[in-house]
Amino acid sequence: MDKMLSISVVLLGGTISMAPSKNEKGNSGEGVVPSITADELCNAVPGIEKIASVKPKCIKLIASANLDIMDVILLKKIIEELAEKDISDGVVIIQGTDTMEEMAFALDLMLDVKIPVIFTGAMRSANMVSADGPSNILGAVIAATYKPLANSGVVVLMNDEIHAARFVQKCHTRDVGAFKSLNGGKVGQICEGKVLLSAPVKKKQSFQIVNAHPVPKVGLIKATLGDPGDLLEYYISENYQGLVIEAFGAGHLPEKWLPLLDRVIAKMPVILCSRTAEGPVFENSYGYPGAEIDLIARGLVPAGILDGPKARLYLMISIMAGQEICKPDY
């Protein structure tokens, strides 16, 4: 009989951990708040004990909007210790879906371990009809026992679908199938209690953080119709260390932005990505002032397929690692 694998389940909070709030008299208040522990979440999953020896651990119990890059560094340290000491055969991280794609991608950029690392959460709180939390936890634990997934780096499992951190995006505010891999397709799925890989990916580079204090200030600005670009001045005056610009279409900005943009480029690295949901930023198609050929010649770095939030994390972590800012390998 095969030895049952040990899976660590690390809770940060999120909708999956939320229940109706209570007022001073013990009656239900307004809305749900984080209150359910890691042990309670795992104990509410039927059949989980048949899949693995699950070790729940609660390190935070907060909404994911309150997480930041230091929480990613904390996760990195926890997971590295679990892997290096052979404490766990895989790790499941439970958190809110609002920032899950960013947390997963940032961790993927930092982490280099040989065990599966799976993010999951819930779109519906535990008090709702058809809450998806238990199913997602079960699927994530199943995925964490599947050793080949370690080759794909950090992944996200939601609604029995497995997504690579570099591709996944939350695309809906309420749908349990909210998470999609717009630029690459899902890595696989859970079917009949097993992992089925359909488009496995290989983990890309890992960055060794050399300076996390203070966390570099990296901004994100989105081009919109008629915007004069005055906000660029703010990033200069506030001493930001990097900027990501979500440009129109394949990577285009208004010509009137260019004088200010040149001043920004002289002060900090700037990454160019597209505000469009799918497709890479171009590098060699459009030649007018403010198009991608001109912008790259001025010093902007193309982001490949990365969207704005992920390009910002890539730039921030590159700075923290003391790396030259170059086009992401995606």
Q: Given its phi and psi angles, is residue 147 left (phi above 0), alpha (psi -120 to 50 degrees) or beta? A: alpha
Residue 15 a catalytic site member: yes
Check: CB of residue 247 under 8 Å from CB of residue 275: yes
Residue 38 CA to its chain's centroid (Å): 21
| Burial tier of 327 (Cβ tally within 10 Å: 0-12, 13-18, 19+) | middle
Partnered with residue 245 across adjacent β-strands are 221, 272
Q: In 3D, which of 155, 135, 150 has the Cα closest to residue 51?
A: 135
CA dist 315 and 323 (Å) reads 9
Q: Can you read off the two tokens belonging to residue 238?
A: 């506030």
Residue 252: partners with Cβ closer than 8 Å, 6 or more residues away: 223, 286, 290, 291, 292
Please, which residues bridge with residue 62 across strands? 13
Distance CA 166, CA 1 (A): 37
Residue 71, SS3? helix
CA distance 114 to 80: 10
The one-letter amino acid code at 40 reads E
Cβ–Cβ < 8 Å for 283, 302? yes
**Catalytic option among 15, 97, 120, 145:** 15
Which residues are designated catalytic?
15
